[in-house]
Amino acid sequence: MADLKLTKIVKAYGDVEVLHGIDLDIKRGEFIVFVGPSGCGKSTLLRTIAGLERITGGTMEIDGRVVNDIPPSERGIAMVFQTYALYPHMTVYDNMAFGMRLAKKSKQEIDERVKSAASILQLEPYLNRLPKALSGGQRQRVAIGRAICRDPKVFLFDEPLSNLDAALRVATRIEIAKLNESMPDTTMIYVTHDQIEAMTLADRIVVLRDGYVEQVGPPMELYHRPANLFVAQFIGSPAMNIMESVVTAASSSEVAVDVEGGGKAVVPIAGAPSLKGHPVKLGVRPEDLRIAGEGEQTIVSGKLDIAEALGEVTLLYVNVEGHEEPILAKLSGYVDIERGSEIHLTADAGDLHLFDGDGQSMLVEAERKQAA
């Protein structure tokens, strides 16, 4: 049963459309992360789910009930804001109790719920403090506690970690992951622009760009089988290398391409359309590249521009003829290569990605066709 169902959600401010018909099925208890560059509409989408923004078109269902016209407080959601949004004039206790008091819950029930939320988040010593007397991490915990007290069906996080410093961010991220485990029936939707948060927390990631969904899937699927160039370059750091190529031969099980700069590659794709002679793009992640051994087919070769040794890895920036940006290779351990020397790089055929003229992944397209 789909707990949260978005159908053709459109949001427009006047003439400017910012969400162009978003479809999403989110199951009960899933942890969904919205990622995308600034201005992609991920926060707007979250706010439409919260009910803080009215949708212009489409339908939104929570637990099978259409909530298009239902006020935020009755949707069964709770939201944690980037700036915490604690009520500055109320103590931690009152902050968490406010919603329940408005709902005219009994004093005893309020007290129980606040105390239990406080114990989950280790906030008991601070219940009588005002938010201004708390640290950033504590404030964020209070905001989460306030959301827990609402006992929501859907938990919404709007970049909850971006106001915290790096160390606290990691700690709070882990706390959120634990919280998610302890509430298996609660759906969580989390907006971030930080890939690491997305990869580590999500059951499924929704990649958004300019108000369109680019791909939805578990983190590893997005990493290993990006549906298009945008997702390929957005997920993973450093970003995937993209090289112009031309298809030289295509069989029922693989596609051979000539890579600019003189390399060759064979990509195993079953049932790909024959695009012989067509320009395509070959993508290889920096961490999949390695130095070609004797007699191995080189995919790309060029002169080493800079080598950055980081200890556990060495980043090689390789200048390839006809390619503006240097190709990046991430080799494990310390690799000692002189600047300016000629380097030949290769990768396992299974780690190669091929994108057609529209930037769609040929592998994913072919699989989709076969499934259909």
Partner 1 sequence: MNPALQGLLTIIVGVGGCVGYFYFSNQLLDRVIFPARGPNAGVNINRANQVRPWLFLFPAIFALGLYLAYPVVETLRLSLTDRVAGGGYDWVGLANYTQMFNEPKFWEAMRNNMLWLIVVPAAATAFGLLAAQLTDRIAWGNVAKSLIFMPMAISFVGASVIWKLVYDSRPAGQDQIGVLNAVWMAFEPGLWSTIVLRILPALLIVGFAAAVAYGAWLLAKPIIERDDRGPGMLAAGLRGAVALLFVWLIWESVSTLPGLLTSELPYGEPQNWLTISFWNNFFLMVVLIWIQTGFAMVILSAALRGIPEETVEAAIIDGAGPFDLFFRIKVPQIMGTILVVWTTITILVLKIFDIVFAMTNGQWETQVLANYMYDKLFRANDWGVGSAGAMVIMLLVTPILVWNVYNARKEMR
With residue 184 as reference, give the H or E element that holds it: none
- Max Cα–Cα distance, the chain, nearest Å: 77
Q: Collect all residues with Cβ–Cβ distance below 8 Å to 37 and sequence separation of at least 6.
A: 193, 209, 234
Stretch that binds partner 1, among 44-52, 217-225, 298-306, 314-322 (CB under 8 A): 44-52
Nearer to partner 1, 187 or 228 (CB): 187
Distance CA 347, CA 282 (A): 12
Please check whether residue 18 is in contact with residue 12, taking contact to mean a CB–CB distance below 8 angstroms: yes
Counting contacts by CB under 8 A, is residue 73 touching partner 1?
yes
- Binding to partner 1 by residue 87, rule CB under 8 A? yes
Regarding 135 and contact with partner 1 (CB under 8 A), the answer is: no
Least CB distance to partner 1 at residue 171 (A): 23
| Number of CB atoms found within 10 A of residue 89's CB | 10
The yes or no reply on residue 103 touching partner 1 (CB under 8 A) is: yes
- Interacting span for partner 1 (CB under 8 A) from 56-64, 98-106, 207-215, 291-299: 98-106
Q: Which stretch binds partner 1 (CB under 8 A): 70-78, 249-257, 347-355, 359-367?
A: 70-78
- Residue 227's φ and ψ, nearest 5 degrees, are -80, -20
Rule CB under 8 A: say whether 78 interacts with partner 1: yes
The only residue of 37, 39, 88, 125 in contact with partner 1, by rule CB under 8 A: 88
Q: Which of 4, 45, 77, 329 binds partner 1 (CB under 8 A)?
A: 77
**Whole-number minimum distance, CB 105 to partner 1, in Å?**
11
Of positions 13, 23, 37, 52, contacts partner 1 by CB under 8 A:
52
Q: Which of 54, 89, 178, 339 binds partner 1 (CB under 8 A)?
A: 89
Q: Which one, 41 or 51, has the nearer CB to partner 1? A: 51
Shortest Cβ distance from residue 33 to partner 1 (Å)? 20
Which residue bears the tokens 């009152």?
94
If the CB atoms of residues 162 and 360 are measured against partner 1, the closer one turns out to be 162
Told to check if 50 binds partner 1 by CB under 8 A, we report yes
Residue 343 contacts residue 316 (beta carbons within 8 Å): yes
Q: Is 317 helix (H, G, I), strand (E, B) or coil?
A: strand
Token duo for residue 272:
């790909």
Q: How far is the CB of 149 from partner 1 (least distance, A)?
A: 9
Site size for partner 1, by CB under 8 A? 28
Residue 128 touches partner 1, criterion: CB under 8 A: yes
133 binds partner 1 (CB under 8 A): no
Nearest-angstrom CA–CA distance, 131 and 128: 10
Count Cβ atoms below 10 Å from residue 241 Cβ, excluding itself: 27
In the bound state with partner 1, the residue whose beta carbon lies nearer, of 67 and 232, is: 67
Instruction: Output the smallest distance, CB 328 to partner 1, in A.
Output: 39
C-alpha distances in Å from residue 164, one per residue of 40, 83, 96, 191: 23, 10, 21, 15
Three-state SS letters, 228-287: EHHHHHHCCCCCCEEEEEEEEEECCCEEEEEECCCCEEEEECCCCCCCCCCEEEEEECHH
The reply to whether 13 sits near partner 1 by the rule CB under 8 A is no
Binding string, 147-176, against partner 1, x = CB under 8 A? ---x--------------------------
Question: What amino acid is encoded at 195 in this protein?
Answer: Q
State how far the Cα of 42 lies from the Cα of 157, in Å rounded to an integer: 11
Asked if residue 212 binds partner 1 (CB under 8 A), the reply is: no
CA distances from 31 to 44, 95, 117, 212 (A): 18, 26, 20, 20
Name which of 175, 177, 214 is nearest 22 in CA terms.
Answer: 214
| Contact between residue 216 and residue 35 where contact means Cβ atoms under 8 Å apart | no
Phi/psi at 187 (5° precision): -75, 140
81 binding partner 1? (CB under 8 A): yes
> Considering only 24-32, 46-54, 169-177, 248-256, which stretch makes contact with partner 1 by CB under 8 A?
46-54
Q: Which residues bind partner 1 (CB under 8 A)?
A: 50-52, 71-74, 77-79, 81-91, 98-99, 102-103, 128, 146, 150
